[in-house]
Amino acid sequence: MAKGKSLEELTDPVFYILIALVEPRHGYAIMQYVKEETQGTFKIGPATLYTIIKKLLGAGLIEAEPESDPRRKTYAATAAGITKLEEEVERRKRMVDLGMCVLQAKGRKK
């Protein structure tokens, strides 16, 4: 079911959701976390959220904690999820560095 090359590079919403799940959180808490953490700049709606949760579960990057209450399903990143997040942070760091480097080079010239 929809496996494959996806999740090689994480998109912004996937990245945020994985970050949120370094600590165990349930769906609604993830939405709030991202909204707060970004000062409302980045919002994840329910459609995006639950779509991505399913995908992350399928990829084994997060897992649902077996809980009694079905009204508050709690998820958390697996070891593989943490590793993936670390890699993604590095990948994004390189992108930012490239951007800064190129912009700085332009600044020096002009």
Partner DNA sequence: AAATGATATATCAAAAACGGATATAAAGGA
Partner DNA sequence: TCCTTTATATCCGTTTTTGATATATCATTT
Nearer to DNA, 70 or 107 (CB): 70
Nearer to a second copy, 64 or 95 (CB): 95
Question: Is residue 80 involved in binding a second copy (CB under 8 A)?
Answer: no
Pairing label, strands 25-26, 74-77: antiparallel
Nearer to a second copy, 80 or 100 (CB): 100
Residues at the site binding DNA, with contacts judged by CB under 7 A: 2, 4, 6-7, 11-14, 26-29, 32, 43-48, 50-55, 71-74
- Residue 13: how many CB atoms within 10 A of its CB? 17
DSSP-derived secondary structure for 44-99:
--HHHHHHHHHHHHHTTSEEE---S-TTS-EEEE-HHHHHHHHHHHHHHHHHHHHH
Q: Which stretch binds a second copy (CB under 8 A): 24-32, 46-54, 63-71, 78-86?
A: 78-86
Torsion of CA 9, 14, 15, 20, to 10 degrees: -150
CA 9 to chain centre: 11
- Residues near a second copy (CB under 8 A): 9, 11-12, 15-16, 19, 22-23, 37-38, 41-42, 82, 85-86, 88-89, 91-96, 98-100, 102-103, 105-106
